[in-house]
Amino acid sequence: MKLEHFALNVEDPIAMAKWYVAHLGLRVVKQQKEAPYMTFLADDSGRVMIEIYRNPADEVPPYRTMNPLLVHLAFVSENPAQDKERLMKAGASLESDQQLEDGSHLVMLRDPWGLSMQLCKRGTPMLAAREEVKQEPSVH
């Protein structure tokens, strides 16, 4: 099985989607223009999505006060220091900046709505490069 998406109930999915598209390079795959504003955002591989929406059937978690270790979105970054500065200028706030012994650089930020997001440059990459991802055999 493959992971299709991870869903989050958020304060303002329309504004959040615009920010993630503009500053993290995600793209809108599908979006409802009316409540609950269900929006699917894909990464540049087109293989992973997050879904954000505002569904009053349950509360929006208190992202601003939650420990980032409870939930965060992690993004591969070739230059976490540069991306940190760029995102902070766009409204993100810094939680932590760690250089690990294995050569990894991990930066934890909060987006403008308080959701934690991590910028990861691993000493040894854990995901295959986009070109290296095995294509599934086509069914004829």
Radius of gyration over every alpha carbon of the chain, rounded to an integer in angstroms: 16
Options 1.10.10.10, 3.10.180.10, 3.40.50.300, 3.30.565.10; CATH of 61-125: 3.10.180.10
Residue keyed to tokens 């540069």: 82
b/e per residue, 43-79, with b = 16+ CB within 10 A? beeeebbbbbbbeeeeebeebeeeebeeebbebbbee
Q: Can you list the alpha helix ranges (DSSP code H) found in the chain?
A: 13-24, 80-89
Position 139 pLDDT exceeds 70: no
Condensed to tens digits (0 to 9), the pLDDT of residues 93-128 reads 999 999 999 999 999 999 999 999 999 999 998 877
Condensed to tens digits (0 to 9), the pLDDT of residues 8-66 reads 999 999 999 999 999 999 999 999 999 999 999 999 999 999 999 999 999 999 999 99
CATH 3.10.180.10 residue spans of the chain: 1-56, 61-125
Q: Assign a CATH topology to domain 1-56.
A: 2,3-Dihydroxybiphenyl 1,2-Dioxygenase; domain 1 (3.10.180)
Distance, in Å, from the CA atom of 47 to the CA atom of 13, rounded to the nearest integer, reads 21
116, burial (CB in 10 Å: exposed 0-12, middle 13-18, buried 19+): buried
Going by the DSSP 8-state scheme, the letter that residue 20 receives in this structure is H
Distance, in Å, from the CA atom of 30 to the CA atom of 41, rounded to the nearest integer, reads 8
